Amino acid sequence: MKNGKLIAVSALSTALSIVFLVIGVYFQTFDLSALFTASLMVMIPLSKNSYKGALLTYVSTAILAFVFSMGRFHVPLLYAVFFGIHPIVNFFQMQKGSKFWFLYIVKCVWFIGVCFLMFYAFAMFTDIPHLDSPFIKNILPLIIVLLGLVFYILYDLIMIKFQKMSFRIVKRLGL
């Protein structure tokens, strides 16, 4: 893809991602769906087989999301540490095929680490009264790991399906 077209596609993807992330920041009921939709926008340059365009979209969206979030950093932080880069890693895994099966395990551990990061980051800024209980302290990491693993497996399957569909749509539209 030519540089001008690559920059234009990346700018369009960034603009759409920012719109969705800002909606997610200011309307808390839409934060997870906004993250999912913003990560779908990273797939537009990937549908043209452009890692460079996808990375440009990811980095510029992450920076602009922090600027436009006005102190509400939970959505941009989740985008920066997982949701923005995940489609790029998926695309790499899809291109390499079954040779990179261990990448799936790395992605699971990465997501569970993000779950722990977000839980402890939010626990620092909120007052959760029952968190001091020894039972909760012992059982909570297990709950985060198990629920994170189940959620990640479902999320990754859905994201791969959306990625394949978006590639077909972009190809059919001739973008």
Q: What is the DSSP string of 33-63?
A: HHHHHHHHHTHHHHTTT-HHHHHHHHHHHHH
Q: Is 127 exposed, middle or buried (0-12, 13-18, 19+ CB in 10 A)?
A: exposed
Question: Span 118-124, mean pLDDT?
Answer: 73
What's the rounded Cα separation, in Å, for the pair 53 and 57? Answer: 6
pLDDT 10s digits, 21-64: 999 888 888 888 898 899 989 988 888 888 888 899 999 999 99
How many alpha carbons lie under 13 Å from residue 19 in its C-beta half-sphere? Answer: 9
What pTM was estimated for this model as a whole? 0.82
Which of 33, 66, 59 is CA-nearest to residue 45?
59
pLDDT of residue 141: 81
Tell whether the model's pLDDT for residue 86 goes beyond 70.
yes
156 vs 71, more confident:
156
What's the rounded Cα separation, in Å, for the pair 107 and 126? Answer: 28
What's the rounded Cα separation, in Å, for the pair 35 and 78? Answer: 8
Average pLDDT along the chain:
84
Question: Span 146-174, mean pLDDT?
Answer: 87
32 vs 154, more confident:
154
